[in-house]
Amino acid sequence: MKKVFKGTIILLVIIGVGLTIIANWFFPYLVIGTVHKNCIGETPADFNVEYERITLKTKEGFLLKGFYTKSKLDTVLGGVIILHGHNSCKESQLPIVKDLANLGFETLVYDARAHGESEGEYCTFGFREKDDVSKAIDFLQNEKSIQNVAIWGTSYGGAVGLQALEYDERLKCGVIYCTFSDIYDIVADYQEDMFGFGNRWLSDFVVSRSGEIADFNPLEVRPSNSAKNIEQPVLVAHSKDDEKIDVAYGKLNFENLQSPEKRLIILEGVGHNNIYGNSGDKLKKQTFDFLKKYLR
């Protein structure tokens, strides 16, 4: 009997130590870790858009690699900073770049820190990335003399975009596609999707531990709270059939916006990935009309 009891205690200790290691050192890196990659290898030239390669320097000294693209019209309507999703890269946004260039917009699209060709070790979901957006605004205004600047972000990029709109009032307006409202909620959702079970204490611990490792405060990564301080015009688009980020988060972000001019577009029959390319011409037209109206 004593041997059985002793064996049980040892087994429980081993399990406890294993779970502690996993919770402290494995799960957090699923949150803040990224895959550095060049998604496609294409450039704006492949879409018949004139461009130059640019480098932004973050306040920590990381170098972010991007493309600055020219309008294909004689008149420039403004500049649009385009932010990609998590574990994606600037090349994935080139169809948007092409369409904006054809309409008369200049664009700046870059690999977020710890993504693509850019430097950086961790993703902080907007806590530090919002200042990177400010560096992009500096570039457009100081180097290219483009004073009217908008932000367009999708998924992770949308979360960064909302935080950037709060952080830097130089942004005239924003386009936010299918993003989350609170890092704690979305990590809890992903935990259940990935592992088939949900434990809110565990997911909250993992988020807090992620903040310790990557040196950021997750309590401040709440786009729905940022929305409460945003007065610029914002267009929010989300699909009812988004399998990764619940449409309820998009609605909450929209409801919290203080913008006198805000627009909500709820789509159907479209998943999370490539909402722009898979939603047809209606979403594109509504987005472009919004930018033409408020980017001035």
pLDDT digits (tens, 9 = 90+) for 13-44: 344 345 456 666 568 889 999 876 656 679 99
| Cβ contacts of 205 within 8 Å, gap of 6 or more | 23
CATH annotation of 38-182+221-294:
3.40.50.1820
Q: Which residues make beta-bridge pairs with 65?
A: 55
Q: Looking at residue 15, what is its pLDDT?
A: 42
Does the model's pTM come out above 0.85?
yes
- In the chain, CATH 3.40.50.1820 covers 38-182+221-294
Indicate the angle between helix axes 200-214 and 183-195, nearest 10 degrees. Answer: 120
Residue with tokens 């092409």: 98
Question: Do the Cβ atoms of 108 and 118 come closer than 8 Å?
Answer: no
pLDDT, tens only, 114-172: 999 999 999 999 999 999 999 999 999 999 999 999 999 999 999 999 999 999 999 99
Angle at 120 between CA 115 and CA 125, to 5 degrees: 65
pLDDT, tens only, 249-294: 999 999 999 999 999 999 999 999 889 999 889 999 999 999 999 9
| Cβ contacts of 104 within 8 Å, gap of 6 or more | 71, 72, 73, 75, 76, 77
Residue 285 amino acid letter: K
